[in-house]
């Protein structure tokens, strides 16, 4: 039995964005919402830790 894939995608040249690999600018441009979310969560964590220490200091 010979199983052949009928619709094999053809190779395409890399787009301008894909052509030169990883760039920090492109990463930040695509992932800025996730990074802001992580910063907010870290801010809440460090504030809660600070408030807990201050409360238990007495």
**pLDDT per residue over 11-20, tens digit each?**
888 777 677 7
pTM here is: 0.58
* pLDDT at residue number 2: 67
The rounded distance, in Å, linking the Cα atoms of 32 and 26 is 10
pLDDT: is 40 or 28 the higher one?
A: 40
**Mean pLDDT confidence for 15-39:** 86
Residues of the chain with pLDDT > 70: what percent? 91
The rounded distance, in Å, linking the Cα atoms of 25 and 31 is 10
* pLDDT at residue number 1: 61
């Amino acid at each position: 039995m010979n199983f052949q894939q009928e619709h094999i995608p053809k190779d395409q040249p890399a787009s301008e964005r894909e052509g030169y690999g990883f760039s920090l600018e492109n990463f930040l441009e695509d992932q800025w919402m996730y990074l802001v979310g992580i910063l907010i969560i870290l801010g809440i964590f460090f504030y809660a830790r600070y408030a807990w220490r201050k409360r238990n200091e007495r």
